A and B are shown apart, each in its own frame.
Chain A
Amino acid sequence: MSSRFDFFLARDSWLHRLDPRVKLWLVGLAGLTGLIYKQIAVLAALLVLAHLLLLSAQVPVARMRWLWVRLGPLLGMILVLQPLFAPGPGPALIRLGFLRLTVSGLLDGVSFALRAAALAFVAAILFLTTDPVRLVQGLVRLGLPYPWGLTVGLAIRYLPTTYGLFVTISEAQQARGWIVDQGGLGRRVRAYLPILVATVIAALRLSNNLGLALAARGLGYPARRTALHDIRFTASDWLVTALVGLLFGAAVAVRYGLGFGARPW
């Protein structure tokens, strides 16, 4: 499977060098900030901050664009469905039968879409800049048993691989004349079914072989596991941990102390 579907981008940036535990802390607290605020300006700021952090980690704009394209359908659905099915209070701008469109519903839609995008890009900071081996080490240092940490690492590693399998199988089927992108929605869904079945079978085979390989190479060997490159907290890790904690504390204080940010506008 080509590495074009891997999440992790190997670079030499300050975010890459950061201890994975700090990045988990950063991503966790930034994600929580995205969840406690509804304010469009705050969520937009969080989204912009995530982009700036990714840029500072030398993540190419093309990779961010790739993520935007993948998020597009989800965000579109939120923008359309949220205002229509949860219009909220206020006078109707438009009525379509039992459906009505309101300003508060529209703002809620924008807020939820921004929140989804912000959370996705915040998570991308972790996945795009953290070597999976170091991520597993971080999780284990946080108390997760190694097999569990490895499972998380492998899930992250194999999600894009499974997507890659889907793309490869889809391209192979289309090269042999299978048409997937014509006709109505129902026909398209049916056209993708054989591709999905083949992908699931290939993924199961891959996971079966992987399980055998892990056992053959000593996963579960009765010895304390060591590491070629161990992770260690440095001064900059402590600094970022403290800074992120302070910013989150301030965000919580503003949100619940001053009551700011509970509404989209």
Chain B
Amino acid sequence: MVVVEGVRFAYPPLSPEVPAPWVIDGLELTVRAGEWLAVMGASDSGKTTLCLLLAGLAPHLTGGEMTGRVVIAGRDTRHHPPPALADTVGLLFQEPEAQLFNPTVEAEVAWGLENLGLPPAEIRARVDEMLALLGLDLVRYRAPGQLSGGEKKRLAIAAVLAMRPALLVLDEPMGGLDPAGRAQVLAALSDLRHRDSATIVMTESDPEAVALFADRMVVLGEGRVALAGKPRDLFLQLDRLSALGVATPQMARLATALNRRLGTDFDFLTVDEAKTALGECLG
């Protein structure tokens, strides 16, 4: 589904005399169809830029210099402008305000579908479905500006999910959400993934969400993949993750501490897994 080959990318320089640094520097990445990939890394590690590259927005709209290639579902983003990829790639921006510009919640979800030229009955069905799925049906006719931060985030997600893209690129989808909102978003993503076999690339700083849902994770460092593997394997490498500025789940830290002190081989990442593993251990 996604092939990123030898990509280097730099934003336009602020001054012609000073060359801009490579934000992405020799990135190699492959994502299988139907896979849920989490991308973690410290601030400025290139996570958001990777999202823009996957949606074709970089360098088409951001400007800047790019080498290498990004191929989404067989389409090279260098030769396909972002609007032409809109039926394949859905991008959730980190700041929801940036993508909410319609006068009502309903119009916001419908806008992308109207661009795709879907029949009105289909648009209505998808809008209804997404508003119900993300708990927004009661604010259907409200202006997005009147929503709470969490509701805005869910609305932005609903607008992207409604387009049913084969590849969902989510830049910090849990940021600013309360626990109930997080649960709703994760349930909606999980549902979409199972129903439509969507591929998900999600940058996320919340290790618990990654541990629960991602099939695989990569950690970016200095614009390239510094670590890759299953969350269960990577989250137990506390020192390496810490050096890369990545938070780890509390339960992973507990498991590692117990393993070091007691010589056990716990690998639980969530509270439920910890309860089960510790329960079995203690009889």
Give the interface of A toward B (CB within 8 A). Answer: 1-3, 6, 8, 10, 131-133, 154, 157-158, 206, 209-230
Residue pair A3, B145 in contact (C-beta under 8 Å): yes
Residue pair A226, B163 in contact (C-beta under 8 Å): no
Residue pair A206, B98 in contact (C-beta under 8 Å): yes
Nearest-Cβ distance from residue B173 to partner chain A, whole angstroms? 15
Residue pair A221, B84 in contact (C-beta under 8 Å): yes
List the 5 shortest-distance A-B pairs measured between CB atoms, nearest first.
A3-B145, A223-B117, A218-B86, A218-B115, A209-B98
A223 CA / B114 CA spacing, docked (Å): 9
Nearest-Cβ distance from residue B201 to partner chain A, whole angstroms? 14
CB-contact partner of B143 in A10, A158, A230, under 8 A: A10
User: Chain B residues near A131 (CB, 8 Å)?
Assistant: 103-104, 107
23 contacts across the A-B interface (CB closer than 8 A): A6-B145, A10-B104, A10-B141, A131-B104, A131-B107, A132-B102, A132-B103, A133-B103, A133-B107, A209-B95, A210-B99, A212-B52, A215-B81, A215-B82, A216-B91, A217-B111, A217-B160, A218-B115, A221-B86, A224-B117, A226-B123, A228-B110, A228-B120
Kindly state whether residue B74 has any CB partner on chain A within 8 Å: no
Known: A217-B159, A217-B163, A219-B115. A1 touches B82 (CB 8 A): no
Kindly state whether residue B182 has any CB partner on chain A within 8 Å: no
A172 CA / B269 CA spacing, docked (Å): 42
Residue pair A217, B99 in contact (C-beta under 8 Å): yes
Kindly state whether residue B127 has any CB partner on chain A within 8 Å: yes
Kindly state whether residue B146 has any CB partner on chain A within 8 Å: yes
User: Chain A residues near B124 (CB, 8 Å)?
Assistant: 228
Residue pair A218, B112 in contact (C-beta under 8 Å): yes
Known: A133-B103, A206-B98, A226-B123. A221 touches B117 (CB 8 A): yes
With an 8 Å Cβ cutoff, the count of chain B residues facing the other chain is 48
Chain A CB within 10 Å, residue with most, of B112, B114, B159, B163: B114
Chain A CB within 10 Å, residue with most, of B55, B97, B98: B98
A217 CA / B91 CA spacing, docked (Å): 8
User: Chain B residues near A133 (CB, 8 Å)?
Assistant: 102-104, 107
Residue pair A213, B99 in contact (C-beta under 8 Å): yes
Residue pair A230, B145 in contact (C-beta under 8 Å): no
Closest chain A residue, CB of each to CB of B156: A213
Chain A CB within 10 Å, residue with most, of B101, B112, B119, B143: B101
CB-contact partner of A226 in B83, B106, B119, under 8 A: B119
Closest chain B residue, CB of each to CB of A212: B57
Nearest-Cβ distance from residue B1 to partner chain A, whole angstroms? 18
Nearest-Cβ distance from residue A145 to partner chain B, whole angstroms? 14
Chain B CB within 10 Å, residue with most, of A213, A214, A220: A213
A223 CA / B118 CA spacing, docked (Å): 9
Residue pair A228, B84 in contact (C-beta under 8 Å): no
A13 CA / B114 CA spacing, docked (Å): 27
Nearest-Cβ distance from residue B228 to partner chain A, whole angstroms? 26
A133 CA / B62 CA spacing, docked (Å): 27
User: Chain A residues near B103 (CB, 8 Å)?
Assistant: 6, 8, 10, 131-133, 157
User: Chain A residues near B57 (CB, 8 Å)?
Assistant: 212, 215-216
Nearest-Cβ distance from residue B56 to partner chain A, whole angstroms? 8
A230 CA / B119 CA spacing, docked (Å): 11
Residue pair B115, A223 in contact (C-beta under 8 Å): yes
Residue pair A1, B145 in contact (C-beta under 8 Å): yes
Residue pair A228, B163 in contact (C-beta under 8 Å): no
Nearest-Cβ distance from residue A80 to partner chain B, whole angstroms? 37
Kindly state whether residue B9 has any CB partner on chain A within 8 Å: no
User: Chain B residues near A1 (CB, 8 Å)?
Assistant: 97, 145
User: Chain A residues near B82 (CB, 8 Å)?
Assistant: 215-216
A212 CA / B81 CA spacing, docked (Å): 12
Nearest-Cβ distance from residue A149 to partner chain B, whole angstroms? 13
CB-contact partner of B120 in A154, A217, A224, A227, under 8 A: A227
CB-contact partner of B61 in A2, A212, A229, under 8 A: A212
A10 CA / B145 CA spacing, docked (Å): 13
A76 CA / B145 CA spacing, docked (Å): 34
Kindly state whether residue B187 has any CB partner on chain A within 8 Å: no
Kindly state whether residue B257 has any CB partner on chain A within 8 Å: no
Residue pair A216, B117 in contact (C-beta under 8 Å): no
User: Chain B residues near A132 (CB, 8 Å)?
Assistant: 102-103
A176 CA / B74 CA spacing, docked (Å): 53
Kindly state whether residue B87 has any CB partner on chain A within 8 Å: yes
Kindly state whether residue B183 has any CB partner on chain A within 8 Å: no
A230 CA / B106 CA spacing, docked (Å): 14
A1 CA / B118 CA spacing, docked (Å): 31
